[in-house]
Amino acid sequence: MFHATVMKKTLLLLSLAVARISLGQQVVDLCDLLNNMEAWNGKLVQVRGVMKISSGGGEGEAYLSPPVCDVKIRVTDLTMTPILEEIFPNGIQLTDPQSRTATHKVDFRWDKKNWDRYANAINRIDRESQYIKLTAVGVFETRAPMSRLMFRGTQTGFGHAGYLPGQILVKTIEDIVVGKK
C-alpha cells in the first residue's frame, strides 16, 4: 500500500512538472514549425535547436536552426515580372519581444538576466570548435501570406537584411548547452 501511494505521488509531481514546463506554449519540433510556418504564426511555442553563428562584422549574426532536417523554404515573389523564387535558410531569428520588427503585440518582456545569459553564451564560444543548443519559448512570427517575405526582388523577412523566414519574440531561453563540434 505504501509503495502504491508513493508511486501515485511521484506520478502526480512529474505530471505537474511537465505541465509547468509547457504551460501556455505548444512544444513543437523546429522542422515541423519551418514546414508549417503560417499555421504556427502568432502562437506561443517552445522549440529546441542549434544556434548558427556567422562571423560577420562585430558580433555577427545568430539564428536558431534545426540540428537535423534541411527544410527548403521556397517563397514566390508575386510583385515581380517574371515571377522570382527565393529559397530562405532554415532558421528562425530570436528577437526581443519589444522590437520594432515585431508584428504581434505580446504582454511579456525578455528578462534581462535571461538575455544576458544567452548573450554571454553567444559571445564566449569558440565558433570554430563549439556550438550552442538551446530551447526558445516565445511567440512565433512570419509574414502572412508567405509571399510577403519578398517584395520587388528583395527579401523582407527577419534578421539581418530580412534573410530569415520567421522570428520568435522571446519570452525565455532555457537549457543552454555548449558542446564541442
**Is residue 13 situated within a structural domain?**
no
**Is residue 168 situated within a structural domain?**
yes
**Is residue 121 situated within a structural domain?**
yes
The residue count for the chain: 181
Helix (H, G, I), strand (E, B) or coil at 103: coil
**Is residue 1 situated within a structural domain?**
no
**Is residue 9 situated within a structural domain?**
no
Tell me, what's the pLDDT at 15?
A: 41
**Is residue 10 situated within a structural domain?**
no
Tell me the residue range of the domain where 141 lies. 25-180
Helix (H, G, I), strand (E, B) or coil at 77: strand
Return the C-alpha cell found at 130.
563549439
Q: How far apart are CA 112 and CA 107, in angstroms?
A: 16
Specify the number of domains making up the chain: 1
Tell me, what's the pLDDT at 56?
A: 54
Q: What is the pLDDT of residues 123-159, one digit of tens each?
A: 999 989 999 999 999 999 999 999 999 999 899 999 9
With 0-12 / 13-18 / 19 or more C-beta atoms within 10 angstroms meaning exposed / middle / buried, residue 34 is: buried
Tell me, what's the pLDDT at 68?
A: 83
With 0-12 / 13-18 / 19 or more C-beta atoms within 10 angstroms meaning exposed / middle / buried, residue 20 is: exposed
**Is residue 2 situated within a structural domain?**
no
b/e map of 131-159 (b: 16 or more CB within 10 Å)?
bbebbbbbbbbbbeebeebbeeeebebbb
Residues of the chain with pLDDT under 70: 1-23, 55-60
Q: What angle do CA 115, 120, 125 make, to 5 degrees?
A: 140
pTM of the model: 0.82
